[in-house]
Chains A and B, each alone.
Chain A
Amino acid sequence: MARLDIQRLSKVFPPPQKGADPVTAIGEITLEVEGNVFVSIVGPSGCGKSTLLNILSGVETPTSGTVSVTEGGRPARLGYVFQDARLLPWRTVIDNMLYVRDDDGAPASDTASRYLEMVGLEHTHQMFPGQLSGGMQQRVGIARAFSVDPDLLLMDEPFSHLDAITARSLRDHLQQLWTATRKTVLFVTHDVVEAVQLSDRIIVLAPGGRIFDDIAIDLDHPRRSSDPKVATLQAEILGRFEEMYPSNVSGMTPGDVST
C-alpha cells in the first residue's frame, strides 16, 4: 500500500533546437494518492502523462517541486508496464521474469511461474520474446510487473498498441490480477472508456501538464463494459470529456475540394 505525494511538480525541457522555445511538459501538478487504489491518468498527447511516469520511476528529474513515493516510510518498490513490452529479446520468457528480481533460485522461479500462469502463459517459459505475439509479450510484461510485488505499479498506455480484441482480453487479465493482489496502480491512458472500466479514480490532465479534473468512480471490481452501470458512467464521463476537447468535424459537401 503505497503513498504517492506530488507537490507542485513541474518539468521543462530545453528547446529541441536553436531558437525554439523550451518545452513545458508539466506545468504544475499537485497530487496525492494513497491506498490500494487503481488510479488512471487521462489526457491527450502532449499533456505530460508519460513525463509524469518517467519522473516517478526515476528516469527523469523534476525541474521544480517534490515527488515522494513511499511505502511505510521507505522508498516504494516500483513495477512498470510499458507501451511496448520491453522484454530482453535474447533471454527466454522465464529469464525475463527473473531479470527484474533481486532474489534467485527456486523461490524466485516459482513466483515467476505463478504469475505467468495467472496470465495464461505457463507453457511459454523457454520461448524467446520473438516467438510470441504482441499481446503475449505484453502479458509477460504485465506478469513481470506484478511478480516483483511492487508497492506502486506504473502502467504507461499498455494496451494502446494492441488490436481491440487483444486489448479487451488483456484488460480482463489485468483486472483479475489486480483484484487478486490489490496493488496501488497508476495507469496512464488516452482512452477514457478504458479508464472508467478499470479505475477507482480518474485524474484528467490538460495540455501543458495541469490537472483539469479529478473524478471518483465508485463501482465494484471487476467491471465489464457490458454492465449497464459501467456503460452509463462511461457515456457520461466521455460526454464531459468531449466538452473539454470538442472535435472539429465540420460538414463537408462534394465540391469542397477541387481536383
Chain B
Amino acid sequence: MTKSVSEVVARGQDNLDQAQRIAAGSRRRRYMAVVVGWVGFLGLWWALSAWLGSEARLPSPPRVFQEILIILEGDFWNQFWASIVRVGAGFVAAVLIGTPLGFAMGRSRYWGNFLQAPVVVAGSIPGLTYAVMAFVVFGISFWGPVLAVGLISMPYVAINVAEGVRGVDRGLIDMSTSYGRTERQVFRHVVVPSVLPFIFAGVRLSFSLAWKVGTLTEVFGSSKGIGFQVRRNFQLFNMPAVIAWVLLFIVFMLLLERLVLVRMERRLFRWRQWERDQ
C-alpha cells in the first residue's frame, strides 16, 4: 500500500488545484452576488418609482442619474469643497481640544472622573442640538458647521486619547529612563507615537457622524455646501435633486473614508502591520 513519492506529490498537487478552483469559484459567485445586488436594488427602485407614478414621490433611477450629471457638470465641486473645508476644520478643532482633554483624563484619575460625565454627555447629545446651537451662535456662517463638527467629534477623540494614554507601554518608559532620556524625549518618542493611533481612531469613528452633523448644520445656517443644497431643493420640492445630492454626498463620504482615511492610516502606522502579524 506504499505510494511512491511522486504519486503522493501528484495527489497533493491535484488537491491544491482543486482547492484553488473551488476558492476561485466561490470568489466569482460572490462578485456575481454583489453585481446582482446592485442590479436588484436599481431594478426594485425603478419598479417602485414606476408603480408610484409621480416624480414627486419617487423619481426613477435614470431621472436621478440625469440630475446627478447636471449637478456634477454644474456647481458640485464648489459645494463639495465648501463642505469638506468646514468638516475638516471641525475635525482639526476636535483634535486640538479633544487631545489635551484626553491626556488629562488618561494621566490623572481625578480629571478622568471629572471630565468623564461631560464628555460622555457631549457624545450623546442629538446632532440637532449642535446644529441649532451653532446656528444660534454663528448665524449663517462658515463657523457654524465647524463648531458643530468639533463638538460632536471631540468626545470620541478625547475618550480614545485617554485610552491611548492609559495604555502607553510602561516598559518603554522605564527603558528610556534607565538610558537617561529626558521627560521631553520620552514624551516625543514614546508617548506621542503611542497615542497617535488613538487620535486617528477617534477621528475615524466619528467620521460619518461628523459629516452628518456638519451637513445638518449647513441645512440650518450656511449659504454653501451640500447640506444647503439639500435644503434648498427640499424647499423647492425638487425630489430628483434632493435624492441626487444625497447620493452624491454618500458616495463621496464613503470614498473619502475608504481611500483617504484608510490609506493615511496605513502609511502613518506601517509599523503596526508587523506587530499584528506577530
Q: Decide if A and B touch, CB cutoff 8 A.
A: yes
Interface residues on A, range: 20 to 34
Taking the closest CB of chain A, its distance from the CB of B167, in whole angstroms, is: 13
The proximity string for A residues 27-38 relative to B, scoring 1 for CB distances below 8 Å and 0 otherwise, is: 000000000000
Chain B residues within 8 Å of chain A by Cβ, number: 22
A234 interfacial contact with B, CB 8 Å: no
Interface-side segment among B28-36, B79-87, B177-185 = B177-185
A241 interfacial contact with B, CB 8 Å: no
* Chain B residues with CB below 8 A from A89, complex form: 271-272, 275
**B171–A84 contact, CB under 8 A?**
yes
Question: CA of A100 to CA of B275 in the docked complex: distance in angstroms?
Answer: 22
* Chain B residues with CB below 8 A from A78, complex form: 178-180
Taking the closest CB of chain A, its distance from the CB of B129, in whole angstroms, is: 39
Question: CA of A84 to CA of B175 in the docked complex: distance in angstroms?
Answer: 10
A154 and B178 in contact, given A82-B171, A86-B171, A88-B189 (Cβ under 8 angstroms):
yes
Question: CA of A185 to CA of B269 in the docked complex: distance in angstroms?
Answer: 37
Question: CA of A244 to CA of B274 in the docked complex: distance in angstroms?
Answer: 45
B257 interfacial contact with A, CB 8 Å: no
Q: Please, which residue of chain B has its CB at the minimum distance from the CB of A131?
A: B274
Question: CA of A128 to CA of B270 in the docked complex: distance in angstroms?
Answer: 9
Most buried by B among A80, A89, A91, A128: A89
**Contacting residues of chain B (251-278) with chain A, CB-CB under 8 angstroms:** 269-275, 277-278
* Chain B residues with CB below 8 A from A130, complex form: 271-275, 277-278
Taking the closest CB of chain A, its distance from the CB of B277, in whole angstroms, is: 7
B42 interfacial contact with A, CB 8 Å: no
* Chain A residues with CB below 8 A from B189, complex form: 88, 91, 99
A246 interfacial contact with B, CB 8 Å: no
Taking the closest CB of chain A, its distance from the CB of B278, in whole angstroms, is: 6
* Chain B residues with CB below 8 A from A88, complex form: 172, 189-190, 193
A57 interfacial contact with B, CB 8 Å: yes
* Chain A residues with CB below 8 A from B277, complex form: 130
Other A-B contacts than A90-B269, A129-B274, A130-B271, 19 sampled, CB-CB below 8 A, are: A54-B174, A57-B177, A58-B177, A58-B178, A59-B174, A77-B180, A78-B180, A80-B179, A82-B175, A86-B172, A88-B189, A89-B275, A91-B189, A91-B271, A100-B181, A102-B180, A130-B273, A130-B277, A148-B179
